[in-house]
Amino acid sequence: MWNELFPNVVWDKIWAATMETLYMTAISVIATFVLGILLGLLLFLTSKGNIWENRFINGVIASFVNIFRSIPFIILIILLIPFTKLVVGTILGANAALPALIIGAAPFYARMVEIALREIDKGVIEAAKAMGATTSTIIWKVLLPEALPALVSGITVTAIALVGYTAMAGVVGAGGLGNLAYLEGFQRNNNDVTFVATVLILIIVFIIQFIGDFVTSKIDKR
């Protein structure tokens, strides 16, 4: 029955493309999470009135974040082709998509991290200082735990955006479901392939959203 409904779909290829999409998303989400928190923390800590207040460093990071956040992803991929070639050695395949995915998403997430940290009551940070906490204690035991629900819901949104980015990256040769939908589906006029690829992408997005919401509600004690 499946074969009648989807005559042009090669299920092995779909499976492989799904795995590629999941692989690209997972690696880029993990890297974005780490990099974004790092950048977000730096943005927050160097901002006015904070522990490492430093206008210069804050200005540099903020411009970096703003510039990369504003470049449309599809253009970012093209701009990063030389860089990708240098780092990954090729501009084709799943790994080739990673630099663009991470550089595209990390600044986006860094802003969310900064906003999450700014939401923390200043009094709580002050209380920790008054107890004699070091800066690293404040980061690990106050800032990150207190912001965790917002950090998780932020990475959920970012992960979903990343699934979309992988599909775009697929169009320029990165593999995955986006690539399949474009090359096998759209260009060869196999609507059933496009349809299956789309449904799978939607399922991935729903699952990410579900996990994100679940985890956020579990850790949110506010």
Residue 132 within binding range of other proteins, rule CB under 8 A: yes
Minimum separation from the CB atom of position 54 to other proteins (A): 18
Alpha-carbon distance 105 to 64, whole Å?
13
Q: Are the CB atoms for 182 and 193 separated by under 8 Å? A: no
Nearest to 161 by CA among 98, 130, 112, 205: 205
- Which amino acid, 166? T
Residue 219 within binding range of other proteins, rule CB under 8 A: yes
Q: Are the CB atoms for 113 and 37 separated by under 8 Å? A: yes
Q: Are the CB atoms for 47 and 58 separated by under 8 Å? A: yes
Residue 48 within binding range of other proteins, rule CB under 8 A: no
Six-digit token string for 122: 């200043």
For tokens 């701009």, the residue is 79
Please enumerate in sequence order all residues whose Cβ is within 8 A of that of 53, keeping only pairs 6 or more positions apart, or say none: 46, 47
- Which amino acid, 157? V
Contact with other proteins (CB under 8 A): which of 130, 136, 187, 189? Answer: 130
Minimum separation from the CB atom of position 156 to other proteins (A): 18
Please enumerate in sequence order all residues whose Cβ is within 8 A of that of 38, keeping only pairs 6 or more positions apart, or say none: 110
Residue 128 within binding range of other proteins, rule CB under 8 A: yes
Residue 221 within binding range of other proteins, rule CB under 8 A: yes
User: Measured over all CA atoms, what is the biggest interatomic distance in the chain, rounded to whole angstroms?
Assistant: 71
Contact with other proteins (CB under 8 A): which of 8, 50, 54, 137? Answer: 137
Minimum separation from the CB atom of position 126 to other proteins (A): 7
Contact with other proteins (CB under 8 A): which of 148, 157, 161, 171? Answer: 148
C-beta of 114 vs 146, nearer to other proteins = 146
- Between the CA of residue 14 and those of 28, 161, 174, 193, 213, what are the distances in Å? 21, 21, 15, 9, 28
Contact with other proteins (CB under 8 A): which of 145, 199, 207, 213? Answer: 145
User: Judged by CB under 8 A, which stretch of 5-13, 62-70, 119-127, 171-179 contacts other proteins?
Assistant: 119-127
Residue 142 within binding range of other proteins, rule CB under 8 A: yes
Contact with other proteins (CB under 8 A): which of 1, 70, 75, 131? Answer: 131
Residue 218 within binding range of other proteins, rule CB under 8 A: no
C-beta of 82 vs 123, nearer to other proteins = 123
Residue 123 within binding range of other proteins, rule CB under 8 A: yes
Which spans of this chain sit near other proteins (rule: CB under 8 A)?
A: 121, 123-124, 126-134, 137, 141-142, 145-146, 148, 219, 221-222
